[in-house]
A and B are shown apart, each in its own frame.
Chain A
Amino acid sequence: MKIDRRSFMALMVGGAAGTALSPLPWKLTDDLSIWTQTWPWTPVPGQGSVSTVNSVSTLCPGGCGISVRKVGQRAVKIDGMKGYPGSDGGVCNLCQAGLQMLYGPTRVKMPLKRTGKRGQGKWQAISWDAAIAEVGGQLNRLRSEGQPHKMACINGSDQGTVPQLFQRFLKTFGSPNFFCTPSMGDSYQLTLKMMHGVSARVGFDIENADFVLSFGSGIIDGWGSSARMFKAKSHLKDKKGTLVQIEPRLSNTAAKADQWIPVKPGTESMLALGLAGVIINESLYNKKFVTKYSSGFDQFSQFVTTNFKIGNVARQTGVEKSKITALARKFARAQKPLALCGKGKGTTPGSMGEFFATHALNALVGNINRDGGVWALPESEYIKWPGPEIDEIASKGLKHDRIDGAGTRQYPHARYLLDRLPGVLNSGKDTILEVLFVADADPYYTLPSSRKVKEAFDKIPLIVSFSPWMNETAANADIILPDHSHLERYLDVPMPPGAQKPMIGLSRPVIAPQFDTRHVGDALILLANAVGGPVADGFPWNDYQACLKETMADKWNTLIEKGFWYEAGFTPPAWQHAFKTDSKKFEFVSDKINLKSIFAKITPEGDEKTFPLSLIPYDSIRLASGAIGDPPFVIKTVSDTILKGLDILVEINPETAKTLGLSEGKYAMLSTPEGQVKVKIHLFDGIMPDLIAMPRGLGHTAYDSYLANKGVNINALIGPVEDPVSGMNAAWGIRANLVKA
């Protein structure tokens, strides 16, 4: 049969049209998509009975109450716990991604002993018995040599049963060298000590304030307990309150503030004193508080009005005189004014000048221990263990000065000076430290001057990490005694930073421990028993659970039922009872407070000629920068104007970029006195000229490929600068240079 071209075409087109009009192709695409989607490697999550476990997340210091949804024995979702004091149903993005930390491959699954070189990543799995015996053996050797003071411990906190167990261990062992990682809490603590004469924790009744004056505090960038602060900020907006943000860069907090006042970095305390000067000159201060309940006001006023005249302040800070005057008046005239400090997330101590000036402002407006003001809360006293027996060896060891110099004549005021430790270790000829315990901290990553930190810690023969995850410090340790993850164990969670009422949260197991890990409290008890003698006697409990229950005593049932214990009715002491200084009043000055030293300008490292610009760090809520690094979900949310591939982008003002010949997205060499790195450029109008801003939280080398080797750790580029009064790290940045690469 012969088919001519025309008939062929007609047949083909007709056939195609007919097929298209029939259900066939559409049915086939549907079937095809189903047939090609049944490949076995796509997981099918199992079903199971649904339950909820309430706990407290300890991945960040915010300590938010969480409600974890379980399917069978698997935790599948972390939500906020409604009714939890402070966070009340809110959870920060890091803690929401907590299941990735719980189940992820960065978990240390059993005790490990280093086999290769430090940091090489070669490990040998050992049993708990062997691990405890080895560490115990070293500890015993130290004591038998009469050198117990050569042991130190770095912990993320000094409050709560676990940090206190570490402190107890060191005490019975014979070492004064307990360190808490530095934060604004240290500076606030010292400020309250000097100005109130009390050993207290600072609290902020921000929910009741109507005018918040923030000297760079990242209220919605992770400062304080972040979920609580977010809610407080929203609440402030709802009741038409005011937030004024003072910092050199347009942070998220500054962007949401009613007024952003850019100020030259490092001059915040100067601006605060300039404001104080206006308030004093115009008699806008709270007369009752100042005349009846304060001491040294005249001396303070004289000092401020002489040395911080508004013209001088305007020149040095870059803020116009009229703005300073207007701000001072608005602040002083507000119903419930509240001044805050502690830059960014508050993870560095900052200068005493900043904290003193800010607290002086609060005193001038009389908001101390008042609604909407700053409160001094008593230190938690629920841990009442009988004082341990100290033997001869320990007693001798405890008589040594702390290796960081805290409490000595040179640094009489600070409790911990961890930032000084690397310098001390590097300067000594002999081995100053033999053993270092690290728990709930990552000093290899978070301490400034990373190169010097590594050099210093490399000198310590035995580093023991209790980290549940392979963070930088664990990766450089000799023995890892892995703790349970934050969702696998009981822990008391004392007041988060800035909480204004006493509370204790109870973190409880959401799932049973999956790996061969042990509660750090249990590990300590085992170690104490391995050392024996009075150290063992100081740890009379069978296990940590017994210790926790016994410690929480009559609060235990409430903790188990509600998940927290909260003193809702707490009110801070009234002015007549609040101050325990020599004068029994709030002290603007005293023999402990040398105004000239406190308010001396903090000069960053580096000479202006070689380093014409300044590098400042900034905090981002999407970049965890503490003991825990970003899980995959969170690093995924980081913008491509911050991280592109493996490159970090630094922010500079477009005008500065033009002068330096730098353009968006191009490479540049960033150098500081501490080191040099290759970065990419991001042009941002929300930053003062001649400044370079780099986020904290990148440049990890440990964890896994979802986080490691991305960007740069800014702690490797900035070194500590000692505050003249406290000795704590007051560096706000460092001098830098930026050249086209």
Chain B
Amino acid sequence: MKQGHHPVKKYGMVIDLDKCTGCGACMVACMSENNVPFREDESNKQDSITWMKVYKLTNGKTYPDTEICYLPRPCQHCEGHDGHPPCVSVCPATATDYDKETGIVSQIYTRCFGCRYCMAACPYHARYFNWWDPIWPDGMEKYLNPNVSPRMRGVVEKCNLCFHRYQQARDKAIFEGRSEVAEEEYQTACAQACPAGAITFGDLNNPSHAVHQIVLPDNKHSGRPKNPHAFRLLEKLGTNPKIYYLSSREWVRRAGDNYLTGESGSSKTTSHG
């Protein structure tokens, strides 16, 4: 087999908040695809395991100038500086690791012993702990996806960009004598499920992929998006995440990070007000 340099992939997504309806289909699809457990009372949102979670933002204005916007938040798959996301840096068991080939931050349940240091480190609250053993009501265990291990209590879990789908797509490509996985062959459950077409998933490093063309990530500046409507959550922390968001509304873009009063929203010298 020819050993050539193959381009490194950076799987990520861009979520168009102008299209997101807040329906939660992405949440349901993720839970269904990944055997995520559910309990009788899921109203304590700190404990509720939602790899993909839809947040509700508001512009803080009173009636009738109120505006709201929904924001789906999967794991952000932070790259940090050259492959050092905050959660990976603190894991004592290497149960989570940054894969330089795909950019995906993995979670290996059988290595995790549940210290939850990664949960403390994650600024996006994207990691969830199994405080209890999952219970599938009588009969429901039949729908479990064999491609994803069901977890038990004591381990942390999070979105892994449906890595099992990448593995299957890669195996299929190799079987067919190809080395590359096509854009439509590997799509996350949430991107596939979104009925409004708000989630675009693909390889940020591949100029032919839609996510690259929309975001125009600047790898020389920690992946900052060149698209003026695109933004990342908590950009200032320097986590260099791979989940981008689009919004035509400035208050939504500003809601993605923390600003001092009067601080301008963009890093450019001129602001458009």
The smallest beta-carbon distance between A517 and chain B, in angstroms, is 14
Among listed A99-107, A157-165, A274-282, interface-contacting one:
A99-107
The answer, among B28, B70, B133, for a CB contact under 8 Å with A41, is B133
With CB as the reference atom, state the residue of chain B lying closest to A97: B28
Tell me the interface secondary structure of chain B in the complex: loop
Known: A43-B150, A104-B139, A255-B68. A91 touches B25 (CB 8 A): yes
Q: Does any Cβ of B come within 8 Å of A250's Cβ?
A: yes
Taking a contact as CB atoms closer than 8 A, the residue among A37, A71, A76 that contacts B155 in the complex is A37
Contact for B139 among A103, A233, A234, A689, CB less than 8 A: A103
Q: Is A169 interfacial (CB 8 A cutoff)? A: no
Residue-wise, chain A 26-48 has the 8 Å CB interface mask toward B (1 for contact) of 10011011101101011111111
| Chain A residues whose C-beta falls within 8 Å of the C-beta of B144 in the assembled complex | 43, 45, 76
What are the residues of chain B within 8 A of A638 when measuring CB–CB? 42-43
Q: A74-B142, A706-B38 are in contact. Are A234 and B197 (CB under 8 A)?
A: yes
Check if B192 sits within 8 Å of A79, measured CB to CB: yes
Binary contact track B105-124/A, C-beta < 8 Å → 1, others 0: 00001111110000000000
Smallest Cβ distance from A38 to chain B, in angstroms? Answer: 9
Known: A44-B149, A231-B195, A233-B21. 7 other contacts (CB 8 A): A42-B134, A43-B150, A77-B189, A87-B195, A96-B28, A103-B143, A220-B21
A119 CB-CB contact with B under 8 Å? no
Q: How large is the interface on A (under 10, 10 to 19, 20 to 34, 35 or more residues)?
A: 35 or more
A298 touches B (CB below 8 Å): no
Q: Which of B56-64, B173-181, B230-238, B258-266 makes up part of the contact surface?
A: B56-64
Asked whether any CB of chain A lies closer than 8 Å to the CB of B93, the reply is yes
Would you list the 8 A-B pairs with minimal beta carbon distance, nearest first?
Answer: A90-B195, A45-B144, A33-B113, A637-B24, A220-B21, A99-B143, A685-B66, A45-B146
Is residue A207 within 8 Å, beta carbon to beta carbon, of the partner chain?
Answer: no
- How far does the alpha carbon of A617 sit from the alpha carbon of B64 in the complex, in Å? 19
Bound CA span A622–B136, Å: 21
Residues of A within 8 A of B155 (CB): 33, 37
Q: Is B240 an interface residue (CB 8 A)?
A: no
Chain B neighbourhood of A114, CB < 8 A? none
For B196, give its contact among A26, A29, A234 (CB under 8 Å): A234
What are 5 pairs between A and B in contact, CB < 8 Å?
A: A43-B144, A91-B195, A633-B38, A686-B68, A687-B63
Q: Which residue of B lies closest to A228 (CB)?
A: B195
For the A-B complex, the count of residue pairs with Cβ-Cβ distances under 8 Å equals 210
- A644, B43: Cβ atoms under 8 Å? yes
What is the chain B residue whose CB lies nearest that of A34? Answer: B110
Q: What residue of chain B has the Cβ atom nearest to residue A79's Cβ?
A: B192
List B1-45 residues whose CB lies under 8 Å from chain A.
18-19, 21-25, 27-29, 31-33, 35, 38, 40-45
A42 touches B28 (CB 8 A): no
Contact of B151 with A by CB under 8 A? yes
Q: Which residue of B lies closest to A41 (CB)?
A: B133
Question: For residue A37, which residues in chain B have a CB less than 8 angstroms away from its CB?
Answer: 109-110, 152, 154-155
B54 in the interface (beta carbon within 8 A): yes
User: Roughly how many angstroms separate A80 CA and B197 CA in the complex, as a whole number?
Assistant: 12
Contacts of B32 on A, CB cut-off 8 Å? 77-78, 96-97, 99, 633
